[in-house]
Amino acid sequence: MPMNNVFSAFLILASLTTILSSCQPKASKAEKENIEYIYNDFKPDEFYPAAQVELQIKSSGSTIYGFAYTADGKGPHPTIVLLHGLPGNERNLDLAQNLRRAGINVVYFNYRGAWGSQGIFRFKNSVEDAGAVLDYLTDSLNRFQLKVDTGKIAFVGHSMGAGLALISGLKDPRVKGIFAVSVFNPYTLLQGKDAEGNLIGLKEYLLTLGMLNCDPNEFLNDILKDVKQYDIEKMIANSKKPIMVIDEHMNNSTFTNYNKRKTFEYKIWNTDHAFSNRRVALTKEIVKWMNKEIISTPIEKENKPDLKIKK
């Protein structure tokens, strides 16, 4: 091929490459800034820096322990309550730190009878404990000290904690939305043809745990006694609250029936129970959901802080 033809072909190829590359979608500056919380630290506010606050919360006479990751800045801030699973080996504190850098308070706690908290570990007790945490966070002094925007509180739960988040959060008006990961659904798991096998499996698992205040038989009987009250799908059907569910199993596949609703979304991800290879994706999904469903929602007048600092 003559040299001038080679040069012409090179120019054409270079032009095509430039055109094609310009057609590729590029992340906008806003999109890049929106995920800076994943990988960038921040300069703390001089007067209202981010902090970790240890919590002792009363629940039916017992003290349950937890802590708050308070976001940087004066606030008040939207606040997520994390509900851990059974027994709670995966505490999702990596998510908590990322969410706090995104400007969201995160509160973690241990149910009664779990990880040092007083009392007996029961499913029903854990449902009540979630309510006790809300009582604590919406107390006039506590919400001020922890910079909690009481009009923008959401539950984020994993496994058993996801079931608890839906059961407790959907009926409590103080919870504005629920993000549930790998939902433990006792209503479907402990009834029907697979119930006996699931009960045996749960009991065997409970026997391996180091829960000091948990009798496996009593724990399971406690659930079975009230299992009709734990119909999560019925609760979802009757609720208008924003709900996001991401499972890695097919146990709740009927939830897809509600995907047409604007306030509900159900996904199944290809990952393990702990979402081990999807931690960053999970963080981004929670932040996106919070921004859309909770943070962008106007604060109700009655939930605005009424405390005034005396000069």
pLDDT digits (tens, 9 = 90+) for 102-122: 999 999 999 999 888 999 999
Q: In this predicted model, what pLDDT tens digit does every residue of 33-78 receive, in sequence order? A: 578 888 889 899 999 999 999 999 999 999 999 999 999 999 999 9
For the chain, report the end-to-end CA distance as a whole number of angstroms.
86
What are the pLDDT digits (tens) for 212-239?
788 899 999 999 999 999 999 999 999 9
User: Does the residue 32 lie in any domain?
Assistant: no
**Containing H/E element for 58?**
strand 51-59
Residue 254 is part of a domain; what is its CATH number?
3.40.50.1820
Amino acid at 260: K
Residue 307 lies in a domain: no
The helix-helix angle for 195-208 and 216-225 (nearest 10°) equals: 140
Q: Which two tokens stand for residue 294?
A: 């909770």
The pLDDT tens digits for 12-30 are 444 544 444 444 445 454 4
Flag whether 13 is in a domain: no
Return d(Cα 287, Cα 250) in angstroms, integer: 25
| Backbone conformation region of residue 60, classed left if phi is above 0, alpha if psi is from -120 to 50, else beta | left
| Band of residue 124 on the pLDDT scale cut at 50, 70, 90 | very high
Q: What is the DSSP letter of 310?
A: -
| Residue 4 maps to a domain | no
In a domain, 274, yes or no: yes
Q: Assess contact for 74 and 46: CB atoms under 8 A.
A: no
* CA distances (Å), origin 310, targets 75, 140, 200, 224, 307: 18, 15, 59, 52, 9
- The confidence score (pLDDT) of residue 310 equals 37
Q: Which residue has the higher pLDDT, 3 or 287?
A: 287
Parent domain of 54: 40-297
Q: What does DSSP say about strands 77-83 and 62-70: parallel, antiparallel, or unpaired?
A: unpaired
Tens digits of per-residue pLDDT, 151-205? 999 999 999 999 999 999 999 999 999 999 999 999 999 998 889 999 999 999 9
pLDDT computed for residue 39 by the predictor: 84
Q: Is the Cβ–Cβ distance between 73 and 102 less than 8 Å?
A: no
Distance CA 117, CA 53 (A): 17
pLDDT band at 90 (very low <50, low <70, confident <90, very high): confident
Task: Report which of residues 278 and 16 the model is more confident about.
Answer: 278
Assign 8 a pLDDT band (cuts: 50, 70, 90).
low
pLDDT given for residue 298 in this prediction: 54
Q: Is residue 206 in some structural domain?
A: yes
Residue 297 pLDDT exceeds 80: no
Give pTM, 2 decimals. 0.84
Between residues 131 and 206, the one the model is more confident about: 131
Q: What is the residue whose two structure tokens read 């404990």?
A: 129
Question: Is residue 172 domain-resident?
Answer: yes
Mean pLDDT of all residues belonging to the chain: 87
Question: What backbone torsions phi and psi does residue 57 show, to the nearest 5 degrees?
Answer: -120, 135
Q: Provide the domain count of the chain.
A: 1
Position 34 in a domain: no
Cβ neighbourhood burial of 157 (10 Å; 0-12, 13-18, 19+) = buried
